[in-house]
Structures are given as structure tokens and as C-alpha cells.
Amino acid sequence: MLEMLENPEPVALGVYGIGKHACRTILPAIAVSERVRLAGIASRDIEVLRAQSDFWKCRAWPSLNKMLRESEVDAVMVSTPIPSHYSDGIAVLKAGKHLWSEKALACTLEESEALVKLSRQKNLALCLSCPPLYHPQFKVLATLIREEQLGAIRSVSASFAFPLTKELGSKVNAGGALLDTGFYPLGVPTFLFDEEPVLEGGSAIGQDDNNTDLAGAALLRYPKLGIHHSAIWGYGSDYINEIRIIGETGMVLASPAFSKPSHLPQGLELRRQNITEIIPIDECNQFTKMLEDFALTLTSTDAQERLRKQALKHQRLVGSVQVMCGLSDRIL
């Protein structure tokens, strides 16, 4: 991750889009951060806006534009539906504010590249939210691979899917499963290896009446390393949230791997020669860890560039799956 740089004043972060995810996860993560403070929230839902601003004792704005006019706001977290991420992100950067965007950065690779280009031109930080990369569990996985404790890695399988409930209705109509849940099992494991994967195949299934993808799968290959990586994602199945890595001499299972429900243990299951070991992982708020790393990028152009490249790596992979699955025309 990022080097620890001195940044004495907490970053004043505004949050645009106050849905359930923001209320349950993002705002509480900001509240416990030492490097980021909540400058205020913005939403067109006045009832929710009033309730949340009263609860968090922060300023409230009825629109993004009004928030962007405030000089006290250093950066903006965009937590709106995915189809709005591009236009919201452009507005944030044009206003001279640093951008932290929920995934996906945009609906297409072209839009994502435009956001990254604008952030470079304006010397502003751009971060694509991917909290699992900041959790201690991910660092332990990387260490196991680097120290060859599993032998040569042969395969990776990653899955993130859950039942289709009434609460998920808005998510289904706001980008589809690939951009929402596929983002993690496709992208997160690639940061464990020093080689870019090649997409071998992919499919999107279970499209509903709105022509929205509800589930999908993809197969990737790391040619030089000799590793296959399968990814499964979607809505409308039993809950699964894991990364399984198989090597010549051992296997490790991370579950939960992406979202971290508080009622589930955060350890890793390591198996070698039919002996199973549980590796305990310190609990932490992965969103707070990500927020604080984002705050540190504001003092380092090199760190900002690493985050831009990280965002584009995710978006290029998702974009290639969009094309292979025939989703690019719909998403455009």
C-alpha cells in the first residue's frame, strides 16, 4: 500500500449519495478515522439527508453542485448509482476536489480513462474504492504466496454472490452484477501476482426484463506463471464470499474475502498435507484503512499515480469481460 506520509490536518471529505451502503459502512468508517473527517453530506433525498446530518452532526447540501462550491471540502466520495459515477466524478474533479469513487469508476473503460486523464491534468487524487486490498487478510495472502508456503500456485477461484432480496432491487437496476459484484472476484486476486492476466472466456447469465445481467463467470490465465483464475459473481444464489488459492503443496481459503460481515470470523484456512491450520487475522475496518491511505495520497504525486493505475487495472479487466459477454452495448 502507500507509504506513511505526514499529513497533519485531517482531510475534509464530503459524501455524495446517502444510500444504505453509505449509512451503514462509509459514514461509520469516516467517524473512526484519524486522517479523514466528515465535512458534510449531499443527497437529493431531503428526508434521508436531514436524518443523517442530524445523526452525524454534519453539514448537509441538497445537491452535489452546492457541496462542490464549499471551499472547506477537500475531497468528495461518490456513492451514487453506478451509471452516475462518470458525470459525478467529472463534476468533482472540475471543481478542484479530490475524488474517491465507489466501484465501478464508470460504466465503460473510455469513461474511466477520461476521469483518470482529468485527475492527472488537475493534479488531483483519484481513488477507486476497493477495501479488501487494505484488509490485513489480503496482506497475509500475499505473504503466503511470496514466501511460497503453498508451493507454486496452480489455480485461483474467487466468488462473490448473494440472494436476490427486495433490498437489492435498486442495485440490480443500477449497473448490473458485473459492475457491482463481479468487480471483486475478477480484480482483487490479480493484485496477488506480478503478471497481468489474459481473459480466456466469460459469460453473463440470467438477464431480467430490464436486460440487466444478474450473474456471470469468467476464466483468466496468467501465461508466464501458469495459473488459472476463475471468477463467479451475481445475484440470486446462496451467499458465497471467498478466494481459494491452490498450490503444489497447499491450499488457502479466505472466507469472507470481500465484504467483511462482523458476525463472521476473519481468519484464513490453510491446508498442507491434509493438515488444516487456521491463521487468525486481526479485525479492522477495511473502509477506514482505505480512507486513511487515500488521505495520504494528497501529499504524494507518486502515490496518486499508483491509485490511478490501480483503478484502470480494475476497469480494463471489467471492460474486457463486458465486451466478451456482450454487455458493452447495453452499458453504453
Is pLDDT at 1 greater than 80 in this prediction?
no
Residue 83 has pLDDT above 60, yes or no: yes
Q: Which of 103, 131, 159 is the last residue of a domain?
A: 131
Question: At 7, is the secondary structure helix, strand, or coil?
Answer: coil
If you search the block for the grid coordinates 498450490, which residue do you land on?
247
The whole-number average pLDDT for the span 20-48 is 96
**pLDDT of 254 above 70:** yes
pTM: 0.91
pLDDT band at residue 263, thresholds of 50, 70 and 90? confident
What's the domain range around 40? 11-131
Residue 249 reports pLDDT greater than 80:
yes
Residue 219 resides in a domain? yes
3-state secondary structure of 157: strand
Q: Where are the alpha helices (DSSP H) in the chain?
A: 20-21, 27-31, 46-56, 64-68, 85-94, 109-121, 136-146, 169-172, 177, 183-187, 286-297, 301-324, 328-331
The string of pLDDT tens digits covering residues 127-152 is: 999 999 999 999 999 999 999 999 99
Other Cβ atoms less than 10 A from the Cβ of 139: the count is 13
Mean pLDDT of the chain: 91
The residue-averaged pLDDT of 15-29 equals 96
**Residue 211 pLDDT more than 80?**
no
Q: What is the domain-level CATH number for residue 23?
A: 3.40.50.720
One-letter amino acid at 65 equals N
Question: Three cell numbers at 237?
Answer: 444464489
Same domain for 270 and 146: yes
Same domain for 143 and 124? no
Residue 29 pLDDT more than 70?
Answer: yes
Per-residue pLDDT tens over the stretch 303-326? 999 999 999 999 999 999 999 988
Together in a domain, 141 and 268: yes
Would residue 296 count as lying in a domain?
A: no
